[in-house]
Amino acid sequence: MSSRDPQDRAFATDVDEFDRNIYATGKGKIREAVLAADLNALIHSARPLRVLDIGAGLGQVNTWFAAAGHEVIHTDISQDMVDKAKLRHQALGLSERYHYYVADLQSLESIVPDQEFDVVLCHAVLEWLAQPFAALPLLAKRVAAGGWLSLMFYNVHAKRMANMVYSNFDYVANDLQVKKKVRFSPNHPLDPGVVLARMQQFPLTLFRHSGVRCFHDYIRPPEFDFEKLLQLELRYRHQEPYRALGRYQHTLFRKEYR
């Protein structure tokens, strides 16, 4: 039985708009490029891997693993998301690589009881949860010894910086709080330092840490050479102070052998 907080955000009825606003844009292309670069060695592992994707949405990232011959469990809280992901994977001829579940993160115990995975993906999920840090032990538990946790989350420092650049001073002064939530703006952006400190309680070692959209979100006007920008995003994603300005933070952890 799920213990999901009713305040957790689910994209149940606006899948197409979510797709257009997130993935069919320059910012979505940068997100995918950074994740593809960071996960490249795992995607092309010579050994078949078992992959669990939590909050998998439309399945763009886990498609890379399925296409490389790995087995994927695709979970999302939204039935519409899962249905559309199935159609995409069918069109790509990858359906045999998948098992699908409509479920929230808190329901993992009933879906995959006592199962561990070579790769656990959890991208852009924590910031939509009312209690994001309660999710961390649930994620760590699912990673097999020697396996990997790919965790990406929305960066509160980048959100504050971008709004200062946009001269939204009242919003920043009000600690980024508004009376009416924006549909595609995460409810609970996270402090990367706090996330990394919390992760130290688990037998997980930080292997890679990248900023996602270190430059893109601060550029005005919007007309620019996107390919040149993309190459610079990839070049500087690991380097401070640019990494800390990434709108999202991607962290890749490896679980120690027992």
| 31 annotated to a ligand binding site | yes
157 is in an annotated binding site: no
- State residue 123's pLDDT score: 98
CATH superfamily for domain 15-255 = Vaccinia Virus protein VP39 (3.40.50.150)
- Tokens found for residue 6: 């009713």
The pairs formed by 89-95 with CB atoms below 8 angstroms and a separation of 24 or more are 89/59, 89/63, 92/63, 92/66, 92/67, 94/63, 94/66, 94/67
Q: What are the residue boundaries of the structural domains of the chain, listed by start? A: 15-255
Laid out side by side, the sheet with 71-76 consists of 98-102, 71-76, 50-54, 117-123, 143-154, 248-255, 204-212
Q: What is the pLDDT along the chain (258 residues), one digit of tens a residue?
A: 455 554 555 555 566 665 555 667 899 999 999 999 999 999 999 999 999 999 999 999 999 999 999 999 999 999 999 999 999 999 999 999 999 999 999 898 899 988 999 999 999 999 999 999 999 999 999 999 999 999 999 999 999 999 999 999 999 999 888 756 555 678 789 999 999 999 999 999 999 999 999 999 999 876 789 999 999 999 999 999 999 999 999 999 999 876
Q: Per the annotation, does 28 bind a ligand? A: no
CA-angle at 231, arms to 225 and 234, nearest 5°: 140
* DSSP secondary structure code for residue 140 in this structure: H
Identify the pLDDT of residue 9: 52
Contact 246, 212 (CB under 8 A): yes
Task: Consult the annotation and say whether 56 binds a ligand.
Answer: yes
